[in-house]
């Protein structure tokens, strides 16, 4: 049950948002929203998928390019997988890109090209989890859903001075966020909390003096805001190693492979290589005099650091590799490679 404090927080936050909302390429401004402009569910969905595990600054250019190439969900659904994966390269977490296409095609085939409004129906689509379903439902369709990201968790932890560490405190933080979510303008409310966390209630040095919620904020009153939210210690990421093989025929064609659909970099173009482990086994894709390139390729994934040793070789015109296939040099595009493979290509090209 709401009390007077809760009834004051929502209006204060929306008043602040009306004046200070960030201008983002996927967002309808409060003024336009008040004039009757509706958010485009496609743009909301695309931005939320891109923003997973990534920053707004990193996403803006990708979002602009994607929406120029594929302005609606039907256009994206009809795009070639390799082209979409190439445009995604650099954003990481490539399973998101594969699910992006699956989701677009499901919206077209199962929903007539229109995103469903209900949280549960959105949740049934490929690649859409509880957070993304809540965000689309609230922001695009103004349904009263609780949208929880890192910014919201931080604001809730400080507003209510909650000291239990993340991730254990997530259920309590969500309860508080649900308590504050209004029936009126829930989409703007969700974006307001996220903007507050991104611009004022920041991880370091929160600007409490100009915060619209400074009076009801318990952590500000208790002097604990800079210490919240508390987080459980992270385990150190392990280091894995591997071998990568870049072979080129005399006519310039380059040996590549399409990685398996499941697993890291699934379905993406790359160079043949070994397993990635503590003790990788050599796995040259053809009989040749493979020579080790100087230097290493280093890349960090979500759960581990990777160090690759790269080998090169000249391959015969009639070479039949035991793995992969050749792409003519004029048809080979560096942009089709994921970032770790681009690093290997750049090392090879500079050798």
The DSSP string of 172-203 is: HHHHHHHHH--SSSHHHHHHHHHHHHHHTS-S
Query: Has residue 29 got a pLDDT over 90?
Result: yes
Examine residue 234 and state whether it is found in any structural domain, yes or no.
no
Average pLDDT over residues 277-296: 94
Residues 178 and 246 grouped into a single domain: no
Residues 343 and 222 grouped into a single domain: no
Residue 247: which H helix or E strand, with range? strand 239-249
Judged by phi (left if over 0) then psi (alpha if -120 to 50, else beta), residue 177 lies in alpha
pLDDT at 2: 46
Query: Has residue 252 got a pLDDT over 90?
Result: yes
Average pLDDT over residues 187-205: 96
pLDDT at 86: 86
pLDDT digits (tens, 9 = 90+) for 235-250: 899 999 999 999 999 9
Query: Has residue 345 got a pLDDT over 70?
Result: yes
pLDDT at 260: 86
Examine residue 124 and state whether it is found in any structural domain, yes or no.
yes
Examine residue 313 and state whether it is found in any structural domain, yes or no.
yes
Distance CA 28, CA 33 (A): 6
- Range from 54-63, 84-93, 144-153, 170-179 carrying the lowest mean pLDDT: 84-93
Q: How confident is the model at residue 267 (pLDDT cuts 50, 70, 90)?
A: confident
Query: Has residue 94 got a pLDDT over 70?
Result: yes
Query: Has residue 326 got a pLDDT over 90?
Result: yes
Q: How confident is the model at residue 22 (pLDDT cuts 50, 70, 90)?
A: very high
Average pLDDT over residues 114-135: 96
Q: How confident is the model at residue 341 (pLDDT cuts 50, 70, 90)?
A: very high
Residues 204 and 261 grouped into a single domain: no
Which of 90, 84, 94 shows the shortest CA–CA distance to 60? 90
Give the domain-ending residue among 170, 198, 227.
227
pLDDT digits (tens, 9 = 90+) for 216-236: 999 999 999 999 999 998 889
Q: How confident is the model at residue 3 (pLDDT cuts 50, 70, 90)?
A: low
Give the domain-ending residue among 161, 192, 227.
227
pLDDT at 346: 96
Query: Has residue 82 got a pLDDT over 90?
Result: no
CATH number at residue 307: 3.90.79.10
Q: How confident is the model at residue 302 (pLDDT cuts 50, 70, 90)?
A: confident
Look-up: residue for tokens 């000291």? 163
Please state, rounded to an integer, the average pLDDT across all residues of the chain.
Answer: 93
pLDDT at 1: 38
Residues 243 and 221 grouped into a single domain: no
Look-up: residue for tokens 């942009």? 335
Residues 18 and 111 grouped into a single domain: yes
Residues 51 and 92 grouped into a single domain: yes
Examine residue 232 and state whether it is found in any structural domain, yes or no.
no
Provide, rounded to the nearest whole percent, the portion of the chain with pLDDT above 90.
Answer: 82
CATH number at residue 24: 1.10.340.30
Residues 106 and 155 grouped into a single domain: yes
pLDDT at 262: 81
> Catalytic amino acids?
48
Examine residue 68 and state whether it is found in any structural domain, yes or no.
yes
Distance CA 329, CA 94 (A): 25
Q: How confident is the model at residue 6 (pLDDT cuts 50, 70, 90)?
A: low
Examine residue 289 and state whether it is found in any structural domain, yes or no.
yes
Provide, rounded to the nearest whole percent, the portion of the chain with pLDDT above 70.
Answer: 98
How does 323-350 read in b/e, with b if 16+ C-beta sit within 10 Å? ebebbeeeebeeebbbebbbbbbebbee
Distance CA 152, CA 177 (A): 8
pLDDT at 58: 92
Residues 130 and 206 grouped into a single domain: yes
Residues 78 and 205 grouped into a single domain: yes
Examine residue 327 and state whether it is found in any structural domain, yes or no.
yes
Structural domain that includes position 252: 239-349
Which of 122, 148, 140, 144 shows the shortest CA–CA distance to 52? 148
**The pTM is what?**
0.77
Average pLDDT over residues 319-347: 93
Total of domains in the chain: 2
Query: Has residue 54 got a pLDDT over 80?
Result: yes
Q: How many CA atoms lie within 13 A of 140 on its CB side?
A: 23
Residues 208 and 336 grouped into a single domain: no
Give the domain-ending residue among 203, 227, 251.
227
| Contact of 53 with 95, CB cutoff 8 Å | no
Residues 267 and 216 grouped into a single domain: no
Residues 211 and 81 grouped into a single domain: yes
């Amino acid at each position: 049950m709401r009390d007077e404090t809760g009834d004051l927080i929502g209006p204060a936050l929306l008043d602040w948002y009306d004046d200070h909302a960030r201008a983002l390429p996927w967002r309808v401004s409060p003024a336009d929203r008040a004039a009757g402009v509706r958010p485009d569910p496609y743009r909301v969905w695309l931005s939320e998928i891109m923003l997973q595990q990534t920053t707004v600054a990193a996403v803006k250019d990708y979002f602009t390019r994607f929406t120029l190439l594929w302005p609606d969900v039907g256009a994206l659904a009809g795009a070639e997988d390799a082209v979409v994966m190439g445009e995604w390269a650099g954003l990481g977490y490539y399973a998101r890109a594969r699910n992006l296409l699956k989701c677009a095609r499901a919206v077209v085939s199962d929903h007539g090209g229109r995103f469903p409004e209900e949280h549960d129906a959105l949740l049934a689509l490929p690649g859409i989890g509880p957070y993304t379903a809540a965000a689309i439902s609230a922001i695009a369709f103004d349904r009263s859903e609780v949208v929880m990201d890192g910014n919201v968790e931080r604001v809730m932890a400080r507003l209510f001075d909650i000291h239990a560490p993340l991730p254990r405190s997530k259920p309590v933080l969500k309860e508080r966020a649900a308590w504050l979510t209004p029936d009126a303008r829930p989409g703007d409310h969700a974006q307001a909390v996220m903007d507050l966390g991104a611009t004022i209630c920041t991880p370091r040095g929160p600007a409490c003096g100009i915060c619209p919620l400074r009076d009801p904020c318990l952590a500000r009153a208790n002097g604990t805001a800079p210490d919240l939210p508390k987080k459980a210690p992270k385990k150190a990421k392990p280091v894995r190693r591997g071998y990568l093989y870049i072979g080129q025929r005399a006519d310039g064609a380059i040996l590549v492979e399409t990685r398996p659909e499941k697993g890291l970099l699934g379905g993406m173009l790359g160079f043949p290589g070994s397993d990635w482990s503590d003790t990788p086994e050599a796995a040259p894709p053809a009989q040749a005099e493979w020579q080790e390139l100087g230097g290493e390729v280093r890349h960090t994934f979500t759960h581990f650091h990777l160090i690759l040793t790269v080998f090169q070789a000249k391959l015969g015109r009639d070479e039949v590799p035991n793995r992969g296939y050749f792409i003519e040099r004029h048809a080979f595009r560096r942009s089709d490679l994921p970032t770790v493979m681009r690093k290997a290509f750049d090392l090879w090209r500079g050798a």
